[in-house]
Amino acid sequence: MTTQQDIPGRTVYIVSDGTGITAEALARSVLSQFNLTFSRIHIPFVDTLDKVRQAKDQIQAEREKTGQLPIVFSTLVIPELVTELRKADALHLDVIQTFVEPLRAELGISPKEEIGLSHQNMESLEYKKRIEAINFTLEHDDGQSNRNLEDADVILVGVSRSGKTPTSLYLAMQYGLKVANYPLIPEDFERGHMPKALQPYKNKLFGLTIQPERLAEVRNERRPNSRYAALDNCRYEISEAEGMMNLENIRYLSSTSKSIEEIATAILSNLRSY
């Protein structure tokens, strides 16, 4: 039986035959529902009986040392490895098998039980597309280049420090999109329109904006007490940038209090429904 007292020490193992990134993300989501701190131990690349035995022994030792059931999130595909891991006395949360079984029943066909099918290897087209997207995005970060803009999937615009660079890289890395990003700067506001180079690509433009208070905070971390970071200047730049985006009919969203993942997903949904 568990009591409130012994809970903080609960250890969570994440055991995977691959990188364990999916299992880790899922474990984080699920555990965040409980108001406790967990210590997480990550055991990736468990793809042989030998390695799964080591993992099992480690979990069993923890069980005996603490007297509590360790929590095990696992993404193992090969049934023999699953069976071996389950010999450890623990709360087993088996992320793949749990969903493979009902799918097998519904689809009426057998699963392959092969490791690593979800990985893109370097030979795959999808992988090459992703690497090309990362290279394109790096070359087109912060208005560095106007070359091949016709190849961009998205062009982000916004004032300096509104979140363009991390969002661009995330879109490239996660979704294989070629993303260019351009800062909107005081010269643009004086001219009163978007940079000329972007005019032919209006349908690819997407704006990021941010609350002035938050922008001043972020900029102050970079250049303390500068004109650049002053709240009135941030207010001016944002009001000009939003005005320009409204005038030119450019979709935009606020990055304030959003994570990179949320901004990226919102941009994607928006582009798809365009």
Residues annotated as binding site for ADP?
Answer: 158-165
Nearest approach in angstroms of CB 115 to a copy of itself is 10
Nearer to a copy of itself (CB atom), residue 244 or residue 252:
252
- Which range of residues in 46-54, 168-176, 181-189, 192-200 is near a copy of itself by CB under 8 A? 168-176
Applying CB under 8 A, among 21, 49, 61, 247 the residue interacting with a copy of itself is 21
What are the backbone angles phi and psi of residue 167, rounded to the nearest 5°?
-65, -45
Burial tier of 248 (Cβ tally within 10 Å: 0-12, 13-18, 19+) = middle
Q: Residue 199 Cβ, how far from a copy of itself at the closest point, in Å?
A: 28
H/E segment holding residue 216: helix 212-222
Q: What does 172-184 look like in DSSP terms, one character per residue?
A: HHHH---EEEEE-
Contacts of a copy of itself in 89-128 (CB under 8 A): 91, 93, 95-96, 98-100, 102-104, 106-109, 111-114, 117-123, 127
Q: What angle do CA 180, 184, 186 make, to 5 degrees?
A: 155
Question: Which residue's CB is nearer to a copy of itself, number 6 or number 192?
Answer: 6
Indicate the residue among 232 and 262 with the shorter CB distance to a copy of itself: 262
Report the C-alpha gap between 142 and 136 in whole angstroms.
Answer: 12
What residues numbered 245-264 form the site for a copy of itself, per CB under 8 A? 255-262, 264
Return the SS3 of 75.
Answer: strand
Of 39-47, 59-67, 144-152, 189-197, which part binds a copy of itself (CB under 8 A)? 39-47
271 binds a copy of itself, rule: CB under 8 A: no
DSSP string, 117-138: TTPPPTTSHHHHHHHHHHHHHH
In the complex, least distance from residue 22 CB atom to a copy of itself, rounded to whole angstroms? 4
| Short-list 247, 145, 234, 151, CA closest to 194 | 247
Residues from 181 through 240 that contact a copy of itself (CB under 8 A): 214
Which is nearer to a copy of itself, 214 or 235 (by Cβ)? 214
